[in-house]
Structure 1
Amino acid sequence: MIRYTLILLLFFSFSINAQNISGQAFYESKTTVDMDALGGGREMSEEMKKTVAQMMKSALEKTYILTFNKDESIYKEQEKLDAAPMNPGFKMMMSSYTPGAQYKNLKTGQIVEENEFFGKQFLVTDSIKDLDWQITKESKTIGQYIAFKATAMKKVDPNDYSMARPKKKDERENAETKNDTAQPQDPMDMIEIPEEIEVTAWFTPQIPVSNGPGEYAGLPGLILELNVYRTTLLCSKIVMNPKEAEKIEPPKKGKEVTREEYIKIVKEKTDEIRENFRGRGGNGGGGRRGGGF
């Protein structure tokens, strides 16, 4: 009874301050790397695992800033001046599936984000997905805020390779058996992308905005911690009503496309890369050269 009374007090006593609220939330990202998925289901040596893990560390451990008010937000990666150098090809692969600046308008339900895909800028428009959040009885303290746990199931884009996981052993063996031995094994045949995943969010009604990092929103309070598949975003600092903050407005750089159009572009380019991989025998020879978008 005391728990529910506390929740009700938090939900309603702070809502009166929501009209003029603004702030900045800083999030630290941590991602667990599945080396089996990266290796296409084939075992990697310990030395190779260490090399790949080191390369991916700077790509996966990042700081993001969410600048928000009651209805709008802009979410950006905080650039690191001392970032470690990265292999150009690896950097391009990682950035191909990582969104740039993301603008959300809670009133209109719109998302606008900048994406760079294989050297070309896109301005992707989409609607905020209404997840069926289930608020649980669990709570914990994050910094100076009381946060409550909520979960939801989210459908996964079949071309989102950040969600890739290795197929079961028997499925990988079947793929290898069916593969033409004259052709290199396509790594994509060794992985699968789940149809849906569980998302866990910890939100605080003490900051009464229905916002959060990335595309996530829709809870009665700011999301302070988010767990999506192998990635965790944890809020490390909050600055309320800052005197100086980035102006919140939609990004404008890139070719305007819808989410559906962008997914189609990514799929076509990915299929082209796979075709080239098969055609050149995995060693850089022959194959069809990639065209434009």
Structure 2
Amino acid sequence: MKIFLFLISLFNLLVVFSQEKKFTIKYTLFFAEQDDSGSSEYKKIMAGVYKKSGQVNFNLYVKDSLSYFIAEDGIDNSNLSYQLALTKPLYSMPLFTNFNKKEIVYKNSPNFIFFDKDQFLIKRDFISNWEIQSETKVIDDKLCYKAVSKGNNYYHSKGKLINFDVTAWFCPEIPVNAGPVYFNNLPGLILEISYLDVKLVATSIKFDVDEKLIKQPTGKETVSYEEFNKLKEEMLEEKTKQMNEQMRTKE
């Protein structure tokens, strides 16, 4: 608790002396382990994905209370291994964050063919259950503190709810509570984060940003993350039911 209060005080002090926060951070994706289960065809596909370790980059643009996280080569890259690698850290679309409102928003992925493009604007809450540890390490000459978040979840493509823990290393020296994907809300920039079978590492930090790169997404309907996944589940059930009925009609 004392460490936590000290870090909060340090973070607040740094924010006071930093009148304007501008950052461009590049994160590189690494895979911690390989999944050797499944059919030979699946293994072949995943082998291509794991070869992308250290080759897939994301950019985080920060300007004061706003940030924008996006894949460096976009989501329209035709390379299947690249597209699958993007999904491993639970990324599907660029994420826009408003730190004052504590909101993370993004558009529904066009890869889900049963929803229209830009049909939904999905809103996520900040992670609020970080536990700051006493352990520290130096990353790129910067002292970082360890934080752990347990009991996070995501919806598998088949509708199954998967729980996982997250380990982050953040740097109070860099006074912004941002991080990759939708992981933030710590008293300092997250320089490294591990969860599931991936690790994202900040490999470049610039204290400047092109503000035009921070884009607020739009959608026809705003829904929560939980509501959106329920809609996806219902849509998949409906389409599966229709397909089964069509097959029975042909018999």
When the two structures are superposed, what TM-score results if normalisation uses the length of structure 1? 0.66
SS in 2 for 1:15: helix
Inter-CA distance 49–209: structure 2 relative to 1 (3 Å threshold): same
Q: 2: CA distance between counterparts of 1:102 and 1:24?
A: 15
Residue in 1 that maps onto 2:130: 133
**Which structure is larger by alpha-carbon Rg, 1 or 2?**
1
CA–CA separation in structure 1 for the residues paired with 2:204 and 2:65: 21
Q: What's the CA shift for 1:79? A: 0.7
**Distance of aligned partners of 1:80 and 1:114 in 2 relative to their CA distance in 1, 3 Å threshold:** closer
Sort the Cα spacing of 1:102 and 1:222 in 2 relative to 1 into closer, same or farther, 3 A: same
- Residue aligning to 2:71: 77
Q: CA deviation at 1:67?
A: 0.4
Change in CA separation of 1:272 and 1:60 when aligned onto 2, cut-off 3 Å: farther
Tell me, yes or no, if structure 1 residue 156 matches structure 2 residue 136: no
Distance 2:99 2:169 in 1: 19
Give the direction of change, closer, same or farther, for the CA distance of 1:103–1:53 in structure 2 (3 Å limit): same
For residue 80 of structure 1, report the CA deviation from its aligned partner.
6.8
Unaligned runs of at least 5 residues, structure 1 = 162-187, 289-293
Displacement of 1:127 in angstroms is: 4.1
AA at the equivalent of 2:61: T
Cα gap change, 1:51 to 1:215, in 2 (>3 Å): closer
CA distance in 1, matches of 2:51, 2:235: 26
Aligned AA for 1:34? D
Q: What is the rounded CA distance, in whole Å, between the counterparts of 2:60 and 2:212 in structure 1?
A: 10
**1:255 aligns with one of 217, 220, 230:** 220
- One-letter code aligned to 1:99: S
Which amino acid counterpart does residue 204 of structure 1 have in structure 2?
Answer: C
Q: Does 1:236 align with 2:237?
A: no
Which of 220, 224, 230 is the equivalent residue of 1:264? 230
**Residues 245 and 8 (structure 1 numbering): CA distance in 2 closer, same or farther, change over 3 Å?**
closer
RMSD (CA atoms): 3.8
- Indicate the percent of aligned positions where both proteins have the same amino acid: 24
Secondary structure, in 3 states, of the residue corresponding to 1:156? strand
Residue number in structure 1 paired with 2:174: 207
SS in 2 for 1:262: helix
Contact 2:103 2:126 in 1 (8 A): no
CA contact (8 A) 2:105 2:122 kept: yes
Q: Which residue number corresponds to residue 86 of structure 1? A: 80
Structure 2 residue runs without a partner (length 5+): none
